[in-house]
């Protein structure tokens, strides 16, 4: 082993509906990461938000072993403070901080800017988009506003607020029917993994879909639905000069790529590369990079498109800043097909995180010098 390897915390789990998916991504990274180069520290966040650090953290969270070596810790918000141990014999002691965190935490708190804000406060470099990029890509309504401003093609859509729905579902349905036609897709603004999303093909279904989405979020996006859309995804990697992978295509085995199709096992197929024409391929890769830059992504993101099979038009659907990251997930598979194997991809992501941290550090932060005078 190389002496003085940088310490890298691989962070998985988290307080989101994608906790278990994140554990699978975490296991893959722990198995594949180059331990000759990085001193790896497993780090988990339990469903209740408690942090656990050390060997055994993954086994503990996945309930495959008792907690023997991992400690319950709190990350201090002061730069350089490291982790305070909250349980066991070392209670009250400090664990050294890490040189970089590689989060594979999907969804709420892990991918939406909350974790990123905490790590910024603590001065810990981390893989992936910063606070703004993460938050913009997590919120489907803000995301669309930013991408529309950048001139990227989006399906027509409307924002509905829960309080508006509570005041009268009929008036909401009227407003939607004035600008969109059935089918429409109804989505909570701030979730992922197809949770709370429904397709509505009639006014009755629309009312039900709005109420379902309102269980999950205060803000609801209603979007023009496509019949049997093509779903194409591009993996983007980089900071200031991001590169796009080959595009891959998902062929769902049902009406839409819902939670079960994603995780409960299905006959959905991944086509890598997607059978797009050369021109379409180039166009989509270019749009992926433009979307990535417009939303201030960094490190990595998977950029997803919907295609209308009738007209051949392509629309930007969403950007996932911490996409599924098992060795057989779309993001790593796309890079593998583009010539970057999984272990090298992990190396590159950590390098990008360190580069971005150094770049941010070069910013001036103190505008006024000298003592404060009242």
Could you list the residues that contact ligand ADP (CB under 6 A)? 155, 185, 187, 192-194, 197, 223-226, 229, 231, 252, 256-257, 304, 306, 317-318
Structure tokens at 25: 């991504």
Smallest separation, CB 44 to ligand ADP (Å): 24
Cβ 97 vs Cβ 80: under 8 Å: yes
Residue 138 Cβ vs ligand ADP, minimum distance, rounded to whole Å: 9
Q: Which is nearer to ligand ADP, 46 or 159 (CB)?
A: 159
Residues 309, 280: contact at Cβ < 8 Å?
no
Instruction: Output 134 or 224, the one with its CB closest to ligand ADP.
Output: 224
Q: Are 221 and 291 in contact (CB under 8 A)?
A: no
Torsion from C-alpha of 193, 199, 205, 208, nearest 10 degrees: 20
Here the tokens at position 286 are: 């270019």
What are the structure tokens assigned to 361, written together? 């550090």
CB of 306 to ligand ADP, least distance (A): 6
CB 103, CB 114: distance < 8 Å: no
User: SS3 of 1, please?
Assistant: coil
Minimum CB distance to ligand ADP, residue 261 (Å): 8
User: Which residue number, 110 or 229, has a Cβ lying nearer to ligand ADP?
Assistant: 229
Selection from 132, 140, 141 nearest residue 114 by Cα = 132
Nearer to ligand ADP, 134 or 317 (CB): 317
Nearer to ligand ADP, 90 or 145 (CB): 145
Least distance from ligand ADP to the Cβ atom of residue 254, Å: 9
Cβ proximity to ligand ADP: between 250 and 345 the closer is 250
Residue 172: CB minimum distance to ligand ADP, A:
18
Q: Nearest distance from residue 337's CB to ligand ADP, in Å?
A: 20
List the Cα angle 127/128/134 in 5-degree steps: 140
Q: What is the rounded distance in angstroms from the CA atom of residue 172 to the CA atom of residue 130?
A: 35
CA geometry: angle at 241 spanning 234 and 7, to 5°? Answer: 90
Percent helix, strand and coil across the chain, each to the nearest 5 = 35, 25, 40
Q: Specify the residue, 253 or 359, whose C-beta has the smaller distance to ligand ADP.
A: 253
């Amino acid at each position: 082993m190389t002496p003085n390897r940088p310490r890298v915390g691989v962070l998985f789990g988290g307080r989101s509906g994608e906790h278990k998916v994140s554990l699978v991504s975490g296991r893959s990274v722990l198995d594949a990461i180059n331990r000759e180069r990085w001193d790896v520290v497993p780090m988990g966040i339990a469903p209740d938000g408690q942090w656990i650090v050390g060997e055994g953290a993954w086994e503990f969270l996945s309930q495959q072993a008792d907690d023997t070596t991992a400690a319950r810790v709190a990350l201090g918000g002061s730069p350089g403070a490291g982790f305070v141990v909250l349980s066991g014999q070392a209670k009250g002691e400090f664990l050294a901080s890490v040189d970089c965190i590689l989060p594979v935490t999907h969804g709420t708190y892990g991918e939406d800017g909350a974790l990123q804000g905490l790590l910024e406060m603590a001065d810990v470099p981390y893989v992936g988009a910063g606070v703004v990029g993460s938050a913009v890509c997590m919120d489907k309504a803000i995301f669309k506003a930013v991408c529309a401003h950048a001139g990227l093609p989006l399906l027509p859509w409307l924002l509905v607020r829960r309080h508006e729905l509570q005041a009268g579902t009929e008036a909401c349905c009227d407003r939607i029917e004035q600008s969109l036609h059935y089918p429409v897709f109804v989505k909570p603004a701030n979730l992922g993994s197809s949770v709370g999303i429904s397709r509505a093909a009639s006014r009755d279904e629309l009312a039900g879909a709005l109420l379902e989405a309102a269980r999950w979020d205060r803000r609801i996006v209603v979007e023009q639905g496509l019949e049997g859309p093509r779903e194409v995804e591009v993996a983007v990697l980089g900071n200031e000069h991001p590169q796009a992978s080959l595009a891959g295509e998902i062929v769902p085995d049902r009406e839409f790529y819902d939670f079960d199709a994603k995780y409960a096992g299905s006959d959905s197929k991944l086509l890598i590369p997607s059978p797009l024409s050369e021109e379409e391929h180039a166009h989509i890769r270019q749009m992926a990079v433009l979307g990535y830059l417009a939303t201030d992504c960094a490190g990595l993101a998977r950029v997803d498109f919907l295609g209308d099979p009738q007209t051949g038009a392509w629309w930007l659907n969403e950007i996932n800043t911490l996409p599924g990251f098992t060795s057989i997930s779309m993001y790593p598979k796309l890079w593998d097909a583009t010539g970057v194997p999984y272990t090298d991809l992990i190396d590159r992501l950590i390098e990008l995180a360190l580069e971005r941290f150094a770049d941010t550090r070069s910013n001036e932060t103190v505008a006024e010098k000298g003592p404060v005078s009242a």
